Chain A
Amino acid sequence: MLYRENGQFKTSYQADQQVFPIAQDRIGIWLLVAFAAIGVPLLADEYLFRAILIPFLILSLAALGLNILVGYCGQISLGTGAFMAVGAYAAYNFMVRIDGMPVLAALLLGGVCATVVGVLFGIPSLRIKGLYLAVATLAAQFFVDWAFLRIKWFTNNSSSGSVSVANLNVFGIPIDTPQAKYLFCLGFLVVFALAAKNLVRSHIGREWMAIRDMDVAASVIGIRPVYAKLSAFAVSSFIVGVAGALWGFVHLGSWEPAAFSIDRSFQLLFMIIIGGLGSIMGSFFGAAFIVMLPVFLNQVLPLLGGMVGVNIDTATIAHTELMIFGALIVFFLIVEPHGLARLWSIGKEKLRLWPFPH
């Protein structure tokens, strides 16, 4: 009853083209952002921040970046972890090597470096397609892993490639409490999500989607594949790189190349597939699902074991987690191959017509 667009007449092109054309959506999103910025820091405890909220924010940012490449431009990438690593280590180098480097600038410059590497490894996409491309992007993953482990200059001559940053502060405000970290990441996420949403609605976003749907046809109607594919790689790697820098700087504090291994790449790909390819909203759903599932299983399995009187040891829990994780992924793919975002939009459609079926 509340979710109706009756009576909301558009009187200007601007009103017709806004991101959320329905007033209830606009109010809802403002309330959500306000709750995330004000309500959550007051309510959540430290464990919640560290284990769920901050990883969720950063990984949804990375998933957002990956979704631009895979979901909107149709170029499968298994090298996301590598681009995150480039962002993190580049930002670290800017921080260490340049005196008085502002954190914000270092993070963004890390993103810029990831962009360069991303475009470099994106060049093969002009000739290679589909699964062949997916494996080719693994080259980025393994090469970058190796480079940060073996080339000492990148890690400021630290052994085993582990580095750390401390005393972050932005415009004089220290980022040391979980609340501050959370708000910092939230700020990044909101800005980038808004930018991404508008980018995919613009002419460049439409070019990406045309390339995704059929690249030969797209080039026939005058879309330059080189420009479209490489720009998707650039934008995607920039966002992913910033996310990687945040993951290192804010979430981990000190990290080594293993933090951005191939598992991270798969994890991000799972997020966007379960959340929904080609959907900004889907990136958030997917990230929430993948971040919370292991935490949830970790809490629930011992309880279940206790109920039936079986004492489950940690190794079994880890293996059962793997099994349930795998089974759930398959289950979701079978039930809704278009992801959670599709379920969400179906739900909204139903709500608009409720209580009538059609």
Chain B
Amino acid sequence: MGFFLETLLGGLMTGMLYSLVALGFVLIFKASGVFNFAQGAMVLLAALAMARFSEWFPQWLGFDNKLLGNVLAFVAALAMMVVVAWLVEKLVLGKLVNQEGITLLMATLGIAYFMDGAGQTLFGSDIYKIDVGLPKDPLFLFDKVFEGGVLVNKEDLYAAAIAATLVALLSLFFQKTATGRALRAVADDHQAAQSIGIPLNRIWVIVWSVAGFVALVAGIIWGSKLGVQFSLSLVALKALPVVILGGLTSVPGAIIGGLIIGMGEKLSEVYIGSQIGGGIEIWFGYVLVLFVLLVRPQGLFGEKIIDRV
């Protein structure tokens, strides 16, 4: 029982991290109908910037304070992501208005290649550390209930808390602010939004910036867990089934999808994987999604797809 709970909790934490990346996908898809394959590359780029800036700023400015360095690096990385968002809108998406979904998808793949190359050229391609002071020591829960208790990584707990806060903030932003209302209006209907005076281009820059911010947070958490390296951009592939499971247009869907897949992955790896050769984590999420889609083609929380002739 203790072991089961441990696996379950571990899965839920990982799931929370998946949904952090998945959020970026959902935000951009909601606001512009673009399925952003570059989300993984954005996570890598943001994490690289964060790692290197926090290393460089103390050297350039000649101080020795980790907190100040991290804060400065965070601000600089965030500024960079905003510039990236502006460039993407200006140079790519603005020129591809009204193209088909697949063309836009391919364009974001092109952007992903470019970001991977540019990020590693600018910031180097070794493995870098991000140290924002997340505690690494393990924590034992319920040690009164079971013998030995349940082992939880404290770092994971913090990460999950940060992710939850971020989701709450984003929901508030979407529901309560004027910009959030404009974003939802654009998501509903581009033309109608434009006709009542919402500037599409600015909205796209904002939404890509927000996605950049989410990527930065995801990059910091993943990066302090695994180290910042090229393989970080592959977390996007883990987040894809999460997005699809929850539904491409649903923020809560991304969270719940992440939890389901994170949990299912770990449990199936431990209980089924050991019998059929292991390593089934790689495809479990995708196959699960395949079966869910057969029943609900729009994902669990997506808007119902209605065909009109």
Interface residues of A (CB under 8 A from B): 70, 76, 124, 127-132, 134-136, 138-139, 142-143, 145-146, 149-151, 214-217, 220, 262, 266, 269-270, 273, 277, 315-316, 319-330, 333-334, 337
Contacts and interface: CB of A to CB of B under 8 A. Distances in A.
A220 B309 CA distance: 10
A139 B290 contact: yes
Nearest to B125: A315
Q: Which of B99, B109, B243, B248 has the most CB of A within 10 A?
A: B109
A323 B118 contact: yes
Given A319-B121, A321-B117, A143 B286 contact: yes
A327 B114 contact: yes
B106 A269 contact: yes
Contacts, number: 142
Interface string B285-297: 0110110011001
B interface: dominant SS: helix
A121 to B, nearest CB: 8
Interface in B256-309: 276-280, 282-283, 286-287, 289-290, 293-294, 297-299, 305, 307-309
A273 B102 contact: yes
Interface residues of B, number: 52
Contacts of B212: none
Contacts of B240: 135, 138
13 contacts: A128-B294, A131-B35, A138-B286, A139-B283, A143-B287, A145-B282, A216-B309, A315-B120, A319-B116, A319-B125, A323-B118, A333-B110, A337-B96
Interface in B114-131: 114-118, 120-121, 125
B92 interface: yes
B237 interface: yes
A262 B237 contact: yes
A339 to B, nearest CB: 10
Nearest to A220: B309
Interface of B: 35, 91-92, 95-96, 99-103, 105-107, 109-118, 120-121, 125, 237, 240-241, 243-244, 248, 276-280, 282-283, 286-287, 289-290, 293-294, 297-299, 305, 307-309
B294 A131 contact: no
A146 B276 CA distance: 11
A146 B7 CA distance: 23
Given A136-B286, A138-B237, 11 more contacts: A124-B294, A142-B283, A145-B283, A266-B109, A269-B106, A270-B106, A273-B103, A315-B125, A330-B110, A333-B110, A334-B95
Contacts of B111: 326, 330
Q: Which of A129, A135, A150, A328 has the most CB of B within 10 A?
A: A135
A116 to B, nearest CB: 17
Given A150-B278, A322-B117, A330-B114, A337 B307 contact: no
Contacts of A150: 276-279
A130 B96 contact: no
A106 B101 CA distance: 38
A136 B248 contact: no
B241 to A, nearest CB: 7
B102 to A, nearest CB: 6
Nearest to A134: B105
Contacts of A266: 109
Contacts of B293: 124, 127-128, 132, 136
Identify the 8 closest CB pairs spanning chains A and B, nearest first.
Answer: A326-B113, A322-B117, A326-B114, A323-B117, A329-B110, A139-B286, A142-B283, A150-B277
Nearest to B113: A326
Q: Which of B103, B113, B307 has the most CB of A within 10 A?
A: B113
A40 to B, nearest CB: 31
A320 B121 contact: yes
